[in-house]
C-alpha cells in the first residue's frame, strides 16, 4: 500500500505545475484525498481535498481560484493543478488518503491513513 506524490519542481511566479498522487496496492475510489503543504519553519497546512462521498472539492482560501483538485479513477490518481503560482506557495506538498468525513483544510491534524512522501515545489524567479 503506497501513495506516490510527484510533479514538483522549480517554477517562476505566475507559472503552473500539476502534482500527481498515485496509489498502489489499494483503490483511491473509496477515500477522500487531501493535499497538504509544509514550508520551512511552518506547520503543515491543508491545501485542498476531494471527498469520497460526493466528489465535492475544498480549498484553502490562499489557493482558491488558482488550484484545482481532480480524480482520475481509471489511473488511480488524484491531481492538483496549480496555476498562477506565487513565491508563498513554495513548500513540500504531500497527499494523503482517509475515510474520514472531516475536511482537513482548517485543521489537518490527525487526518490521513496513508501519506505520500512529499514533492518539493519552489516558486522563484
Tens of pLDDT, residue by residue over 68-89, are 999 998 999 999 999 999 999 9
| Spatial distance between the Cα atoms of 90 and 94, rounded to a whole number of angstroms | 13
Look at residue 100 and tell me whether its pLDDT is greater than 90.
no
Q: List pLDDT tens digits, range 5-50.
A: 999 999 999 999 999 999 999 899 889 999 999 999 999 999 999 9
**Mean predicted confidence (pLDDT) in 108-114:** 91
**C-beta of residue 44 within 8 angstroms of C-beta of residue 34:** no
Amino acid at each position: 500500500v503506497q501513495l506516490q506524490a510527484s510533479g514538483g519542481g522549480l517554477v517562476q511566479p505566475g507559472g503552473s505545475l500539476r502534482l500527481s498522487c498515485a496509489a498502489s496496492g489499494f483503490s483511491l475510489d473509496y477515500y477522500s484525498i487531501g493535499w497538504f503543504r509544509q514550508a520551512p519553519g511552518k506547520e503543515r497546512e491543508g491545501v485542498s481535498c476531494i471527498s469520497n462521498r460526493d466528489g465535492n472539492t475544498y480549498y484553502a482560501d490562499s489557493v482558491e481560484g488558482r488550484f484545482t483538485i481532480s480524480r482520475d479513477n481509471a489511473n488511480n490518481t488524484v491531481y492538483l493543478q496549480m496555476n498562477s503560482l506565487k513565491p508563498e506557495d513554495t513548500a513540500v506538498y504531500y497527499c494523503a488518503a482517509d475515510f474520514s468525513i472531516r475536511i482537513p483544510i482548517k485543521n489537518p491534524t490527525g487526518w490521513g491513513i496513508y501519506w505520500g512522501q512529499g514533492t518539493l515545489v519552489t516558486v522563484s524567479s
